[in-house]
Amino acid sequence: MAPSTSSALTLKVNGEKHTLSVDHRTTLLDALRERLDLTGTKKGCDQGQCGACTVLIDGRRAVSCLQLAVAAEGREITTIEGVADGDRLHPVQQAFLDLDGFQCGYCTPGQICSALGVIEEHAAGWPSAATTDIRPEAGVPELTAEEIRERMSGNLCRCGAYVSIVQAVARAARAEEETV
């Protein structure tokens, strides 16, 4: 008997469980876009170089094009469609909208998911290549423009919206701090 080339699995996306049968070659990105009709997650390069397909997996940002769908079973996946609270935009989304942190909008879902990760990682004290003092006792580094640029560099934007993206992430991070 030929080996099976597909499997049934359950993906938990934005808090909702979806049971489906997928080709083993299917990436998480294609499962989201072509099987679950969650097309907010974008395909820019399909090889982990542009960040357009960034989602959160168990709260950590990941490029969904380099993840097979079958390997994502049992994980908590958050896509751009799960970021807002109903009709109320998340502060990161609101800041991107208000400060025009995008132009064509194609990299935007990945940028926003990545920004959510950046704000969490920074709050947890993770250093970046732009952090000048990485000693544990130095505490949480200030989230400067330099830090944001470095931490957001996995997400390419060809329209050249970086200047506004940095401002949007800074504004959203401040909003988060104020609500804590």
Partner 1 sequence: MTTTTGPAAVTGAVGSAHTRVEGVAKVTGAARYAAEVPFANLAHGWLVLSTVARGRIRSVEAEPVRRMPGVLDVLYYGNAPRVDAAYEGMMGRPDPTVAVFQTDEIPCAGWPVALIVAETSEQAREAAESLVVHYDKEPHDVDFFPGRPGSYTPDGDGMRVEKGDVEAELAASTHVVDAEYSTPEEHHNAMEPHAATARWDGGRLEVIDSNQGSTWIADELAKLFSLDPASVRVRSEHVGGAFGAKGLRVHQVLAVMAATVLDRPVRVVMTRRQVFSLVGYRSPTAQRVRLGAEPDGRLRAVDHEGLNLTSTVHEFVESSASFGRPMYAADAHRSVNRVVRLNVPTPTYMRAPGEAPGSFALESALDELAEKCGMDPIALRVRNEPEVGPVSGLPFGSRNLTACFEEGARRFGWAERDPRPGVRRDGRWLLGTGVASATFPVIVAPSTASATAEPDGTFTVRITASDIGTGARTALTLVAADALEVEPGRIRVHIADSDFGPATIAGGSMGTRSWGWAVRDAAIELREQLALGGDIPAQGLTVRSDTGAAIGALAQKERHSYGAQFAEAAVDVGTGEVRVRRMLGIYAAGRIINPLTARSQLVGGMTWGLSMALHEEAVRDQITGAHVGADLAGYHFAANADVPHIEADWVDDPDPDDPIGIKGIGEIGIVGAAAAIANAVWHATGVRHRHLPIRPDRVIQAGSPRA
Residues that bind partner 1 (CB under 8 A): 23, 25-26, 30, 33-34, 37-47, 49-50, 52, 79-81, 83-84, 89, 93-94, 96-98, 100, 102-109, 112, 130, 145, 148-150, 152-153, 155-166
Report CA 107 to chain centroid distance, whole Å.
Answer: 10
The pair of structure tokens assigned to 79 is 């896509």
- Token readout for 96 is 């991107």
Query: What letter does residue 11 receive in the DSSP assignment?
Result: E
Characterize the bridge pairing of strands 6-13 and 16-23.
antiparallel
Provide the minimum distance between the beta carbon of 167 and partner 1 in the complex, in angstroms, as a whole number.
9
Q: What is the nearest approach in angstroms of partner 1 to the Cβ of residue 150?
A: 5
Closest distance to partner 1 from the beta carbon of 25 (Å): 4
Nearer to partner 1, 48 or 76 (CB): 48
Q: CA end-to-end span of the chain, whole Å?
A: 58
Between 3 and 139, name the residue whose CB sits nearer to partner 1.
3
- Which one, 59 or 105, has the nearer CB to partner 1? 105
Query: Would you say 53 and 64 are in contact if contact means Cβ atoms under 8 Å apart?
Result: yes
Pick between residue 78 and residue 139 the one whose CB is nearest to partner 1. Answer: 78
Q: Where are the alpha helices (DSSP H) in the chain?
A: 28-30, 91-98, 108-123, 145-151, 162-179
Q: Which is nearer to partner 1, 7 or 153 (CB)?
A: 153
DSSP-derived secondary structure letter, 133: -
* Least CB distance to partner 1 at residue 61 (A): 14
**Residues composing the chain:** 180
Work out how close the CB of 74 gets to partner 1 at its nearest, in angstroms, rounded to a whole number. Answer: 22
